[in-house]
Amino acid sequence: MKLAKNATLLRIFIGEKDRADGKPLYEALLLKARKMHMAGGTVIRAPMGFGRSSRLHTAKILRLSDDLPFIVEIVDEQEKIDRFLTAIEPMMGSGLITTERVTVIRYGEETPRGEAT
C-alpha cells in the first residue's frame, strides 16, 4: 500500500472502560480501521489524563484509576479518515476526536535493508 506524502492523523481520546459490542472500544476501533484497510493505527495507554468532567484518571499507586485514558491514532488520506469517522459514529459515546494534517516521511519499505531480494 502506498501512502500519500500529505496525510491526516486521527486521534481518538477515550477511556479504558469504554466498550463497543462487548469488547474494549479501543480494540473495536483498531479492528475496524484494519478491516477498512487504513494505512496504520496504534493504541496508546496513557498513565494520566482528564477530560470534559475534569476527573483525574491516573496510574499512581495512591490513586489508582480503573479507567485510564487511551488514545487511538490512525494515519491515512483525508477521504479514508472521513469514511472511517462515519463508520465508527454508532460506536462512539463520550470522547474527543481530533485530526491534523501530517507529512509522511516514511511508510515502510518493500524489502528491509540488509536482506537479499
Q: Tell me the mean pLDDT per 10 residues along the chain, length 117.
A: 86 94 96 97 88 63 67 97 97 93 86 61
pLDDT of residue 104: 93
Backbone angles phi, psi at 92, to 5 degrees: -85, 135
pLDDT of the residue at 64: 52
Under 8 Å between Cβ of 14 and 95: yes
Judge contact between 74 and 24, C-beta under 8 A: no
The answer to whether 70 and 26 are in contact (CB under 8 A) is yes
Alpha helices in the chain (DSSP H): 25-35, 78-88
Rounded-to-integer distance, Cα 72 and Cα 18, Å:
13
Q: Which residues pair with 19 in a beta bridge?
A: 24
Fold (CATH) for 6-103: Alpha-Beta Plaits (3.30.70)
**3-state SS of the chain: helix, strand, coil percent to 5?**
25, 35, 40
CA 68 from chain centre, in angstroms, equals 15
